[in-house]
A and B are shown apart, each in its own frame.
Chain A
Amino acid sequence: MKSAAKISPAKRAPDFQDGSALRIPSLQILNQDGSVIAGATVPDLSRDQAIKIYSDMLYTRMLDERMQGAQRQGRLSFYLTCTGEEAAVAGTIAAFQAQDMVMAQYREQLALRYRGFTTAQFMNQLFSNVEDLGKGRMMPVHYGSRELNIMTISSPLATQIPQAAGYAYGQKLKGKDACTLCYFGEGAASEGDFHAGLNMAAVLNSPVVFVVRNNGYAISTPCSEQFAGDGIAPRGLGYGIKTIRVDGNDILAVYAASVEARRIATQEQRPVLIETMTYRLGAHSTSDDPSGYRSKQEEQTWRDKDPIQRMKSWLIAQRWWNEALDSDLQKSYRTEILAELKLAEQRDKPPLRDMITDVYKTVPSHLLEQFEQLEAHIAKYPDRYSA
Chain B
Amino acid sequence: MTKATVPEIGNPPKSSKMNLLQAVNNGLDIAMATDQRVICLGEDIGQFGGVFRATSNLQKKYGRERCFNTPLTEQGIAGFAIGLAAQGSVPVAEIQFADYIFPAFDQIVNEAAKFRYRSGDEFNCGGLTIRTPYGGGIDGGLYHSQSPEAYFCHTPGLKVVIPSNAYQAKGLLLSAIRDPDPVIFFEPKAIYRASVGQVPEGDYEIPLGVAEVVQQGTDITLLGWGAQMVQIIKAAELAAAEGISCEVIDLRSLLPWDRDCVAQSVTKTGRLLISHEAPRTGGYAGEISASIQEHCFLSLEAPINRVTGLDTPFPLIQEKHYLPDHLKIFEAIVATCNY
Residues of A within 8 A of B (CB): 101, 103, 132-135, 137-138, 142, 144-146, 151-152, 154, 156, 159, 161-171, 173-174, 180, 192-193, 195-197, 199-200, 203-204, 357-361, 364-367
Contact = CB atoms under 8 A, between A and B. Distances in A.
Interface in B165-181: 180-181
Interface string B226-249: 000000000000000000000000
Nearest to A350: B120
Contacts of A196: 71, 73, 75-76, 79
Given A146-B123, A200-B71, A166 B83 contact: yes
Nearest to A135: B120
B259 A366 contact: yes
A199 B106 CA distance: 18
Given A170-B89, A199-B71, A132 B120 contact: yes
A159 B108 CA distance: 10
A333 B11 CA distance: 71
A134 B114 CA distance: 12
Contacts of B71: 196, 199-200, 203
B119 A144 contact: yes
B73 A137 contact: no
Given A166-B83, A171-B87, A173-B89, A358 B76 contact: no
Contact of A134 (B70, B88, B118): B118
Contacts of A174: 87-88
B156 A167 contact: no
A204 B68 contact: yes
A156 B104 CA distance: 13
B256 A366 contact: yes
B133 interface: no
A383 B281 CA distance: 39
A166 B180 CA distance: 19
A271 to B, nearest CB: 12
B121 A358 contact: yes
Interface string B95-122: 0000000010011001100101111111
A192 B75 contact: yes
Interface residues of B, number: 46
B157 interface: yes
Given A166-B80, A204-B70, A137 B120 contact: yes
Given A196-B73, A199-B73, A144 B123 contact: yes
A349 to B, nearest CB: 14
A365 B88 CA distance: 27
Given A196-B76, A199-B71, A170 B122 contact: no
Interface string B277-310: 0000000000000000000000000000000000
Contacts of B124: 361
Interface string B109-152: 01100101111111110100000000000000000000000000
Contacts of B39: 173
Closest 8 CB pairs of A and B: A166-B83, A162-B79, A196-B76, A170-B87, A163-B83, A166-B80, A152-B119, A167-B83
B75 A101 contact: no
Contacts of B256: 364-366
A99 to B, nearest CB: 12
Contact of B81 (A138, A144, A166, A168): A166
Contact of A200 (B76, B107, B180, B259): B76
Contacts of B70: 200, 203-204
A26 to B, nearest CB: 29
Nearest to A146: B122
A360 B113 CA distance: 9
A151 B85 CA distance: 13
A358 B116 contact: yes
B107 A162 contact: yes
A361 B180 contact: yes
Nearest to A208: B83
A52 to B, nearest CB: 25
A70 to B, nearest CB: 22
6 contacts: A163-B80, A166-B82, A204-B68, A204-B70, A359-B117, A360-B181
A200 B120 contact: no
B86 interface: yes
B207 interface: no
Contacts of A166: 79-87, 91
A159 B119 contact: no
A199 B79 CA distance: 12
B15 to A, nearest CB: 31
Contact of A154 (B75, B110, B159): B110
B123 A152 contact: yes
Contacts of B8: none
B73 A170 contact: no
Given A165-B79, A165-B80, A192-B75, A173 B65 contact: yes
Contact of B122 (A103, A144, A359, A366): A144
A156 B106 contact: yes
Contacts of B110: 154, 156, 159
A32 B19 CA distance: 70
Given A145-B122, A169-B84, A361-B126, 15 more contacts: A103-B83, A144-B122, A152-B122, A154-B118, A162-B73, A162-B75, A166-B80, A169-B87, A170-B83, A171-B87, A192-B103, A196-B71, A197-B76, A200-B76, A357-B121
